[in-house]
Amino acid sequence: MSTLQRRALSLLLIMALAALLAWSVRPTVRLADQGATLDLETLVPHQFDGWELDERQSAAVVNPQAGELQSRIYQQVLARTYIQRSTGRSVMLSIAYGENQSRSNDLHVPDVCYPASGFRIEQSKQGTVRFAQNEIPVRRLIAQRLQRREPLTYWTIIGDQIATSATGAKLLALSYGLRGTVPDGMIVRVSSIGLADDEAFILQQEFVETLLGSLSAEGRKKLAGA
């Protein structure tokens, strides 16, 4: 066998081993199929401790993807507006849930979706929402489009772990995949319009803390990993 033939054979063997390795770590277990089925409509109450659903309007899921592609990414989308009874102030809540967080079906975070929808991101920083003994890592953005200024707080859950960036979400999905599991994923976004930025973030913090306090332990784990 010539040197060229040996090199070709070695290359074929390497390619075969790479294909075998890729097949062996291919995720086969869907996390969404384990445990109780998630239903966002029943998980999130219509009213809780000073907040009630505003039936006149709903929040909008800002996402440039539409039609078949969006349906493939998100199996459930919840979009609501809540009013704080004591002040009349409102908060928009949107939750997008995808059962399969493989590479082609990853969630679209606001950092990407808002600019794609014509918004300019003026501020992006890490933050935390405190609940009981837990601190939930979140990302806070200020998005601007024409006269619409929208401070927002969001976090992403991949499986049962929180990420606050697209890169972090992809790394979590990869870590699940290496263990043979296809994780599900969720983006929880809370936003406000018509308030000063600091006031909006304080209101969003109050809303999230109160909402989490109204849920069962299982519901909190689904929504925030807490």
Q: What pLDDT was estimated at residue 40?
A: 92
Alpha-carbon span 224 to 153, nearest angstrom: 13
Q: Which of 101, 72, 82 is nearest to 163 (CA)?
A: 101
Q: What pLDDT was estimated at residue 64?
A: 47
- Residue 17: is it exposed, middle or buried by C-beta count within 10 angstroms (0-12/13-18/19+)? exposed
Q: What pLDDT was estimated at residue 6?
A: 62
DSSP state of 37: P
Q: Copy the structure tokens of residue 76.
A: 């459930």
DSSP state of 187: E
Distances (CA, A) of 117 to 62, 67, 70, 107, 120: 7, 16, 15, 16, 9
Angle 103-42-128 from CA coordinates, rounded to 5°: 60
Question: What would the DSSP string read from start to end of 49-115?
Answer: TTEEE-TT-------S--HHHHHHH-SEEEEEEEEETTT--EEEEEEEEES--SGGG----HHHHHH
pLDDT mean values, one per 10 residues, the chain (226 residues): 61 54 57 73 93 80 54 82 94 88 67 88 91 86 94 90 79 78 87 95 95 90 81
Q: What pLDDT was estimated at residue 165?
A: 76
Question: What would the DSSP string read from start to end of 8-22?
Answer: HHHHHHHHHHHHHHH
Q: What pLDDT was estimated at residue 20?
A: 45
* Domain limits, the chain: 28-224
Q: What pLDDT was estimated at residue 32?
A: 64
Q: What is the pTM of this model?
A: 0.80
Cβ neighbours of residue 34 closer than 8 Å, sequence gap 6 or more: none
Question: What would the DSSP string read from start to end of 119-179?
Answer: -EEEEEEEEEEEETTEEEEEEEEEEEETTEEEEEEEEEEETTEEESSHHHHHHHHHHHHHT
